[in-house]
Amino acid sequence: MLLLADKVVFLTGGTEGIGFECAKAYQQAGARLCIISNDSESIHRAKTQLESNATVFFLADVANAAQVQKAIAHCLAVFGKIDVIHNNAGISSPSKALHETTEQEWKKLFEVNVGGIHHTTLHGIEALKKSGGSILNTGSLVGEIGQEIHAAYTATKGAVNALTKSMALDYAPFGIRVNAVAPAGVITPLLRSWSQQQPDPDLAEEYLNNIHALGYCPEGDVIADACLFLISDMARFITGCILPVSGGAELGYKKLSSKQNHFHDL
């Protein structure tokens, strides 16, 4: 039996990276999908691989409450219900220390990474109450342990962790589960952008492999498999969980080498 048979999943940021891998996994598991992205080009690319009568795309920015409201309404109009909201959309730039982060950069990170969860919940919670559905947030291991020269981003992911636990308590009386998945490094366009912002980009690949106890930086499919489990009925008694899918990185997250140390001349 397909794990997501007859389930409707509202997935933000589902056209590239981890989100795209999740979209493929959910579709293969029998879900009907409403995929949200703010990038029309990535929507076009994703359509070529995910085209199906059971999958629709909607151009929207999760930082914009009105656009999210329209996307939720569109999903309900097409499929009649929502069983899962997966808040995957996020940004990671800039890779900077806090004192180097501009007010505009700070606000943008929080508007997308945290505000997006607020907006989908604000406009989608009533549908989830009817379906007894679940919410999944894409977090990050750095929200728990921090990361050098990435302060604002890690702050947003720490907020995602706290939100996930509080939401799990608030919505448990309605039978709604709320969990988060917390990767370490995953090979995605966001990670490649982060790598290019490091003091020595040429060493970034080696660093990313070495931080994982299992010895390599994975592709997004390993995260998608964990996400599929968390939104399926196999995880029906799991809520408020921040699940690390990190290759053991939290067991001893390694520092950047001295050549990469951004603060050596301060």
Q: How many domains does the chain have?
A: 1
- In this structure, how many other beta carbons lie within 10 angstroms of the beta carbon of residue 48? 7
Q: What is the pLDDT of residue 246?
A: 86
221-231 and 17-28 helices cross at what angle (nearest 10)? 50
Question: In the block, which residue shows the tokens 């931080």?
Answer: 211
Please report whether residue 206 resides in a domain: no
Please report whether residue 196 resides in a domain: no
Please report whether residue 58 resides in a domain: yes
Give the dihedral of Cα atoms 188, 63, 236, 212; nearest 10 deg.
30
Q: Which domain holds residue 132?
A: 8-184+220-251
Please report whether residue 195 resides in a domain: no
Q: What is the pLDDT of residue 259?
A: 41
Q: What is the pLDDT of residue 247?
A: 86
Q: What is the pLDDT of residues 104-125, one digit of tens each?
A: 999 999 999 999 999 999 999 9
Q: Residue 16's domain is classified under what CATH number? A: 3.40.50.720
Q: In angstroms, rounded to a whole number, what is the distance separating the alpha carbons of residues 63 and 76?
A: 20
Please report whether residue 19 resides in a domain: yes
Please report whether residue 1 resides in a domain: no
User: What's the angle, vertex CA 13, arms to CA 125 and CA 72, rounded to 5?
Assistant: 30
Three-class DSSP category at 180: strand
Q: What is the pLDDT along the chain (266 residues), one digit of tens a residue?
A: 799 999 999 999 999 999 999 999 999 999 999 999 999 999 999 999 998 889 999 999 999 999 999 999 999 999 999 999 999 999 998 989 999 999 999 999 999 999 999 999 999 999 999 999 999 999 999 999 998 889 999 999 999 999 999 999 999 999 999 999 999 888 766 655 555 565 565 666 666 767 777 877 777 899 999 999 999 999 999 999 999 998 888 886 555 444 444 322 32
Q: Token pair of 38, please? A: 């703010």
Three-class DSSP category at 229: helix
Please report whether residue 213 resides in a domain: no
Please report whether residue 209 resides in a domain: no
Three-class DSSP category at 207: helix
- Do 12 and 113 touch, CB atoms closer than 8 A? no
Count each helix (H run) and each strand (E run) in the chain, helices first: 10, 7
Point out the residues that are catalytic: 153
- Do 2 and 30 touch, CB atoms closer than 8 A? yes
Q: In angstroms, rounded to a whole number, what is the distance separating the alpha carbons of residues 182 and 203?
A: 24
Question: In the block, which residue shows the tokens 């050596």?
Answer: 264
Q: In angstroms, rounded to a whole number, what is the distance separating the alpha carbons of residues 173 and 129?
A: 10
Q: What is the pLDDT of residue 202?
A: 61
